[in-house]
Structure 1
Amino acid sequence: MAYQNLVVNNQGYIRHIVINREEKLNALNKQTLAELHDAVTEALAADTVRGIVLTGAGEKAFVAGADISEFANFDAAQGRALAYEGQTNVFDLIHAAEKPIIAAINGYALGGGLELALACHIRVAVASAKLGLPETSLGLIPGYGGTQRLTHLVGRGRALEMILTGDMISATDALEYGLVNHVVEQAELFTKVESILQRIASRSRSAVSAAIKAINASLGSVKLGFETEINLFGQCFGSPDFKEGVSAFLEKRKPNF
């Protein structure tokens, strides 16, 4: 498949998937999510691929969020469908992948961008990266698994503070929280990511797959949590705060909640 918004290439047995919307800070729109579903599915099916690197084009942003202009006029049902389809087709696909997927966080990872990184197995960030879930400033909550996966990684208190304030944190803080595995300088990002994948690739394929499944199972039954997030995310689209939050964002002003 020819991609409009992705660049896909192989470095030996490592598949690089690059979100290539640098002028939009690699924001996730409907087309990009569809291409990610296809690219990740194909990489998981390819016998020659032992690991996947997911990153954004340029040095400013991994993914700076969802493309808000696409859903600014959605109602509650459309909002719920947006979350459900995104989670099912992309974020859950990555989370449950039986090959290691590492997020190479080369800059801003915000909103849906951080949720994309959270779905990956391992996260490596550059020292200048900023991470956050600013959805409450739009009258929303995270809708691509952020309320669940962030809590699993950093604990209830840290997750509540990040989500309720919507504030960004530094890469150093993200490392302290357990949100990222490593922090490196920009020039070292892909060397570090590929060195991790090379070590994993030297191990038994079947054992790596089994370990991923077993570790994911340790999270217990999370279906209810994800369903609750999807439903509440959809309900936010029917609130006056959502209309004000999105209008303020598009008009480049502070919302008046």
Structure 2
Amino acid sequence: MKPYLLEEREQGCLLFTINRPEKRNAINFDVMDGLSEAINRTKKPGVKALIITGAGEDAFSSGGDLSIFHQLKTEEEAYGMLSKMSNILYRLLTLPKPTIALINGTAVGGGCELAAACDFRIAKKGQKAGFIQGSLAITTGWGGGTILFEKLLAGNALKILMESRLFSVEELADFGFIDHIYDGDREEICDVFLRKILSLETEVLTAYKNMLIRKWTESGLQQRIEEEVRKCAVLWEKDVHHELVAKFLERKS
């Protein structure tokens, strides 16, 4: 089964689906490559927006695939993986077209970082999401923490990161992380959410997005994300992180 799906839909939308439901749509290197492909295809003139979702109804994404990434032991090994994904998320963040995280199920850890890099987040009623990296003795490492401080009030971002737990999407909407909560067919809801946005010319959408991208460029966002990645890589190497991940994987097996 292919680990991701790409589909061009009506209204000029490109739909990217993480297609690993048996792994709760965990992100591995193949999914990373798929995201890079989706970003490249979104730059085509006929594409007006990129939607990212997960296969099935249980999980948007459970974050990095720990069954694979737990094999990375040293700071250097971790940095290679972290920097690869952080570069992809920075490209997603600064894509000059609207992007939407269609959160169909639980979003955990790196799954929340992926959602944070999108312009809008639409979440299914009753689901949960959270940046739980702290419970594994690391920080966010794909740039998601730095991005969160760009998008939320500082106190709300700190609470979400420091409590390192799952929040209901209703709580996250109060924090400003979730833009819309849906109950029903996710693709229909997404179409309704985007209808007015996609009625505008692509050049207009790009011009507005570029206003935001200029702000991020001038504030040195990319360098700040790099510092986040470096710190996470240092913490990744520590014994306490590997011990906690091993215990987590044991509980899941």
- In structure 2, give the amino acid aligned to 1:57: A
Deviation at 1:40? 2.4
Alignment of 1:46-125 (within 5 A): 46-74=44-72, 75-88=74-87, 90-125=88-123
Paired with 1:27 and 1:111, the residues of 2 have a C-alpha distance of: 10
Deviation at 1:5? 0.9
1:33 — aligned with what?
Answer: 32
Deviation at 1:45? 3.1
Paired with 1:210 and 1:87, the residues of 2 have a C-alpha distance of: 24
Q: Which ranges of 4 or more aligned residues in structure 1 deviate by more than 4 Å?
A: none
Count of residue pairs brought into register by the alignment = 248
1:49 is paired with a residue whose SS is coil
Paired with 1:41 and 1:26, the residues of 2 have a C-alpha distance of: 21
- Alignment check: 8 A CA contact 1:55 1:105 kept: yes
2:101 is paired with a residue whose SS is strand
Asked if 1:212 corresponds to 2:209, the answer is: yes
Could you tell me the percent identity over the aligned residues?
A: 26
Paired with 2:189 and 2:150, the residues of 1 have a C-alpha distance of: 24
Paired with 1:235 and 1:30, the residues of 2 have a C-alpha distance of: 21
Q: Quick one: which of 179, 186, 194 aligns to 1:189?
A: 186
Asked if 1:14 corresponds to 2:17, the answer is: no
2:247 — aligned with what?
Answer: 248
**TM-superposition CA deviations, 1:79-106 (whole Å, max 9, x none):** 1121111111x21111111111111000
Asked if 1:167 corresponds to 2:165, the answer is: yes
- In structure 1, give the amino acid aligned to 2:202: R
Tell me the C-alpha RMSD between the 2 structures.
1.6
The farther-off stretch of 128-137 and 152-161 is: 152-161
- In structure 2, give the amino acid aligned to 1:111: G
Paired with 2:210 and 2:108, the residues of 1 have a C-alpha distance of: 27
1:24 — aligned with what?
Answer: 23
1:202 — aligned with what?
Answer: 199
Paired with 1:87 and 1:125, the residues of 2 have a C-alpha distance of: 23
Paired with 1:240 and 1:14, the residues of 2 have a C-alpha distance of: 44
Paired with 1:171 and 1:216, the residues of 2 have a C-alpha distance of: 27
- In structure 2, give the amino acid aligned to 1:131: A
Alignment of 1:234-245 (within 5 A): 234-245=233-244
Paired with 1:204 and 1:47, the residues of 2 have a C-alpha distance of: 11
- Alignment check: 8 A CA contact 2:20 2:55 kept: yes
Paired with 1:170 and 1:58, the residues of 2 have a C-alpha distance of: 19
1:141 — aligned with what?
Answer: 139
**TM-superposition CA deviations, 1:192-230 (whole Å, max 9, x none):** 221233322211211211111112333432233212101
The farther-off stretch of 153-162 and 223-232 is: 153-162
Deviation at 1:25? 0.6
Paired with 1:72 and 1:111, the residues of 2 have a C-alpha distance of: 15
The farther-off stretch of 243-252 and 189-198 is: 189-198
1:150 — aligned with what?
Answer: 148
Q: TM-score, normalised by structure 2?
A: 0.92
> Gapped runs of 5+ residues in structure 2?
none
Paired with 1:30 and 1:94, the residues of 2 have a C-alpha distance of: 16
Deviation at 1:155? 2.3
Paired with 1:5 and 1:223, the residues of 2 have a C-alpha distance of: 28
- Alignment check: 8 A CA contact 1:100 1:197 kept: no
